Chains A and B, each alone.
Chain A
Amino acid sequence: MLDVWLSGLQGILQVRELLFLALGMVIGLLFGAIPGLGGSTALALLMPFTYGLESFAALALSGGVMGAVPMGGSISAILLNAPGTAPSAATCLDGYPLARQGKAGLAIGAAASANSVGGIIGTVTVLAVLPIAKRLVLLFGPPEFFLLAVLGLVVVATTSRGKLLRGLITGGFGLMVAFIGYDDITGDVRFTLGIPYLWDGVHLVPALIGLFAVAEMIDLSIRGGSVAREAGNVRITRTLSGVLATFRHWRTVLRGSIIGTVVGAIPGVGGVVASFLSYSLTVQASRDPESFGKGNIEGVIAPEAAINAKDGSALIPTLAFGIPGGAEMAVFLGILVLHGMQPGPMMLIQHQPEIYGLIWALTAACILASFIGLLFVRPLALVTLVPAEILVPVITCIALVGSFAVDASIENTVVTAVFGVLGYIMIRFDYPRLTIVIALVLGATAERNFHQAMLMADGSWSIFVTRTISLILLAGIAALPCLPILRARLRRGRGSGPVSAGDQR
């Protein structure tokens, strides 16, 4: 096994391959930072250019892009509340409040190091798991996918403990929106108001750009000033503290990386679930859950570790079964086929050096992109000092045109604007945005898998209690809402200070 790992590493450590890796990283950082672009657009754009390249060079280029996109997405999420990629939306929740407090350097430092460590942990896990990947992935069927979606929703709803009721309401609203469009199982088109664009449902990326970037720009234009409230307060020198914070909160990094690795390996679930689940569980585990959403550095570390750990494990279903975990992996699948590598169980046997070369490239890109991010912290953090009257129109333009660019659909701009106003109303009237995102992502998946599970079991609910993984997930769903109450009782029993507001129920 070791010799295959080394041959993969050797394949990547050639001058030409390293140059392609660097090129991929630069493209990945740029495409990651601009809302609406992301890894799938970058890979789709590069696909024709890889045709003339050898396999290792093409994989280095692709690995560079995929490894660097998350770092680019984090930078814009932290500085402008504009998630460059959908999973980075979770980083906005605490990264942007830190930037507003003038601690953009701290947040970017933490994001960069969590990115690297998460990437490394993800790689190590993939290297260990790849040989037994087939058996693991086959344990999940429609009942498990349905329960996994419900678990995700429960986790996030219980996270907004201080605002549980409002969290549930926004989650419910997210589900209602997620049901819009063509229903795969019954063949009905629902809630589209006769608009053909809505047959595909409400597109996630334009909605996220609206909820976070545009809503924030509306807020900033009303508030005036700049992102960082006081110019003299921007402390860019705290980057090293951010890097060290990742190691100080090693449990958060480890938890995020494990969640990222597990969720990433499940086809169709994707990075948004990984990052939000990691964030939610970190809030659950924290002794000070009330500080999240107001600039807690663990709120940056948790999603960042998950996002990069997910990238490695998303390769498992893509390579072992030819089932892409998301849009980015679907495009990457095309690149593999273009280079004569047919994904599937045989690929794990016939193209081992290339696979391990790709994994090394991905890991190297994670680490190097983080270094590049750190190098540019100072000029990047100055963006938070740009006056609102200049920043607002520029970012609004980039957000709406980026939203259009997702699939060259002008209707996306309307979705972004509507969700921007919705996001602003949520900010003003104190509704959490966390639950709406996870509901938007998981709603359709949950419904589809529920119907499929019912079809499998001829309408019997017993299917959810007769399979081992389903049972474990059910136990998790039942136990999670009880955790805050148990914790509160434990604290009262120990008499360790005041009970947090979230635990008063």
Chain B
Amino acid sequence: MRRAFGTPIGDYLPAFGLALVTALYLAAAYRYPPDAREIPADVAWTMLGLIALDLVSRTHTGLGRALMRWFNPAADREDAEAKPHYTAGRQIIAVLWLMGFAAALNLIGILYAVPLYVLAFTRLRGGRTWRASIAVACGTTLFLWLLFAFLLRLELYPGALIGGR
């Protein structure tokens, strides 16, 4: 993996992402009247300072190591420990499964999305037999329907494509 200042570039990404979000937040804050932006803007400026420190502390430079020792000693020690490494692809796939399910809930509704997601996950990702996958999917859907629709009399969201908002 490519490195900058002795650290894999990927390790800087969260801090850069957060800096970008904070900058956008700050720009939005200055569109509000002074009273409304006072505290959010103060917090955002402070955040930018803290993120800058975090970025420097992640480098393997003298200053970076000193900052890590002062502010994040536990993180420093954990870096040295053997952490399990997962490929980016494996992590992205796990996130996509969740995002796909959330999208399905919004589009086709709870009663269709739940069995489809459970069935697909246990069969395709988990490699379970069709019979076991169908049983888990039916059981989960039945439990959720009994609890929320039957007992709590909650109208389960039908999905944007099937008449929801």
Which A residues form the contact surface with B (CB < 8 A)? 34, 41, 45, 161-166, 168-169, 172-173, 175-176, 179, 183, 185-186, 188, 190-191, 214, 217-218, 221-223, 290, 387-390, 392-394, 396-398, 400-401, 404-405, 408, 410, 413-414, 416-417, 420-421, 424-425, 428-431, 446-447, 450-451, 501-502, 504-505
Contact = CB atoms under 8 A, between A and B. Distances in A.
Contact of A429 (B14, B69, B76, B90): B14
- Secondary structure dominating the interface of B: helix
Interface in B95-130: 95, 97-99, 101-102, 105-106, 110, 114, 117-118, 121-122, 125-128
Contacts of B101: 396-397, 400, 417
Given A218-B98, A223-B84, A389 B75 contact: no
Interface in B11-37: 11, 14, 18, 22, 25, 28-29, 32-33, 35-37
Contact of B106 (A176, A396, A413): A413
B5 interface: no
A401 B136 contact: no
Given A165-B72, A390-B122, 15 more contacts: A45-B152, A164-B71, A169-B50, A179-B39, A218-B94, A389-B122, A389-B128, A397-B140, A400-B102, A404-B157, A410-B157, A413-B106, A414-B102, A417-B102, A421-B99
Interface residue tally on B, bucketed by range: 35 or more
Contacts of B78: 430
Top 3 A-B pairs ranked by shortest CB distance? A162-B74, A389-B126, A165-B71
Residue with the greatest number of chain B CB neighbours at <10 A, chosen from A218, A387, A400, A424: A400
Contact of B94 (A172, A222, A416, A425): A222
B34 to A, nearest CB: 9
Given A397-B114, A405-B154, A410-B157, A429 B121 contact: no
Contact of A450 (B39, B47, B77): B39
A410 B165 contact: yes
Residue with the greatest number of chain A CB neighbours at <10 A, chosen from B32, B37, B73, B154: B73
Contacts of B117: 393, 396-397
A431 B117 CA distance: 30
B75 A163 contact: yes
Interface string B33-59: 101110110011011001101100100
B105 A393 contact: no
Given A218-B98, A221-B125, A408 B155 contact: yes
5 contacts: A163-B75, A166-B75, A214-B98, A218-B94, A410-B157
B148 interface: yes
B47 A176 contact: yes
Contacts of A428: 91
B134 interface: no
Contacts of B4: none
A97 to B, nearest CB: 14
Nearest to A42: B152
B147 interface: yes
A206 to B, nearest CB: 11
Interface of B: 11, 14, 18, 22, 25, 28-29, 32-33, 35-37, 39-40, 43-44, 46-47, 50-51, 53-54, 57, 67, 69-78, 84, 86, 90-91, 94-95, 97-99, 101-102, 105-106, 110, 114, 117-118, 121-122, 125-128, 136, 140, 143-144, 147-148, 152, 154-157, 164-165
A405 B148 CA distance: 8
Contact of B136 (A175, A394, A414, A429): A394
Contacts of B37: 190
B25 A186 contact: no
A410 B72 contact: no
A34 B33 contact: no
Nearest to A36: B148
Contact of A393 (B18, B136, B154): B136
Contacts of A398: 140, 143-144
A72 to B, nearest CB: 14
Nearest to B43: A175
A455 B28 CA distance: 25
Contacts of A45: 152
B50 A172 contact: yes
Contacts of B18: 169, 173
A179 B74 contact: no
B73 A501 contact: yes
A76 to B, nearest CB: 14
A400 B125 CA distance: 20
Contacts of B72: 162-166
Contact of B43 (A161, A172, A425): A172
B125 to A, nearest CB: 6
B46 A172 contact: yes
B74 A190 contact: no
A389 B106 contact: no
A103 B139 CA distance: 28
Contacts of B91: 222, 424, 428
Contact of A190 (B32, B102, B143): B32
